[in-house]
Structure 1
């Protein structure tokens, strides 16, 4: 199966297989920059694994199979990764969202923070899409600004899943049929990015109207940075650097434009994320768990701030 890719992207071809868990730990963690992986046989069949990938840094189709169990961490990387099982069991985002995969249904890996997974006796399909490529297509489609964010817990619509499956099937069949011209490959990668954006539409963060004025461009940059990195341990220094402002100028700008401080705005953004997760009401969700995941350690103060912002107690939001 020959694939000729365009000059702008780097070709990728990976083949790894074996019958030993130690060898698997030499081969697999480095593919995802994992630091704490482990693997072991199960009682089902003798241990073996196989991993293959073909494409380029814009789009790669991958397969991963294992008779055995594997667990590990995956930090944020340069790809958006959509994967689904055709056999076996798996849980993604252990200790946080605990997403149990349903065979045949695509699932997006958390894209903006580290997570932990566990897979057992599985056959897995994956599509890696380069972030820069998806960002570019999203801008062309009028779907995004500077930074894309996706809700990996969202359930794609059946229509979006069918479109995704049809597109990935077309790409796979085309790659198997022989050499692919750069022009055709460009069209295939574009189609796949569009199908991905239909599968997981980018989240829209409504910016305060005051920051949209041209004279407040630096504060808008700071607000966009906060929205894009709200899940990370950032503070005033990082926000000021992203907006190319001094800390003092940042603080004065936030007071003037938004009548709050940079850290006050960051807390509001995190409260908004808590609110969104509680509204989803995924089974097993607790107010304390979600609040602590978003950095709110004092639950009494958190509940007061939440009630002031949304007009109800967080438990009422979770109950729906």
Structure 2
């Protein structure tokens, strides 16, 4: 987006750098300017903008700490549909018109789609007799979209998507509006080694008792996430009352729906366990990680409260 908005200004800067100096940077600027003015660069720039534009909401939904699984699954399906629409003939024509209008706006010469393809900064021997239409439409446009769709299908295949949809039935949002007994029984079927025959038989009856109970309890009214639901079940003693339901909920909580949270922890560990702290113990490392990762929460704690609590742990020679 920024490259597209600053395209004319960037061209001017590259032109001046290539003209006003004789250093290696000038040669680099001239080479970059040649690529920057090419149809292929602008074509791929617009294509990246289209792909990222359609997948941005899905990416953000999967990286949220408090994930709305229902919303994430719906966004996944909508993203696939929009990418399929984009790769059709009408989507290609509209996309090509946008690229062409961008070139006309900035007084750049467009390529003839019926002409031969001339690569930029690459040997022509690899593209003998290649035509512009095939190169831009089949190799680039359809190739990138198909790879994106394949990646989404590989990461969220039919089994994983069904698993996510079943998980969504546990969501306590909006007074358990997504609750579905059949989906939760199907979800338990994904874990044949964790539920025996008797538990699978008893699960539908326990789910009926569970949903009637929690919907009539004000403690469960404003819950939004599965983590909050599990804590409330333990706090109110219902984890023991509905032990099969709670076991299924625990299995759902340990599923790696998205790796964003795990990746954040490992990234934080690189800051905490550096060369100066390479020999710290596991307990001390866990304490440092908790305060670093949850720093938004700990910043709300007053220094006086920390000092008072530390002072009250045991008698000390000096008053802090």
Larger CA Rg, structure 1 vs 2:
2
User: Which structure carries more helix by proportion?
Assistant: 2
TM-score by length of 1: 0.24
User: Which structure carries more strand by proportion?
Assistant: 1
TM-score by length of 2: 0.24
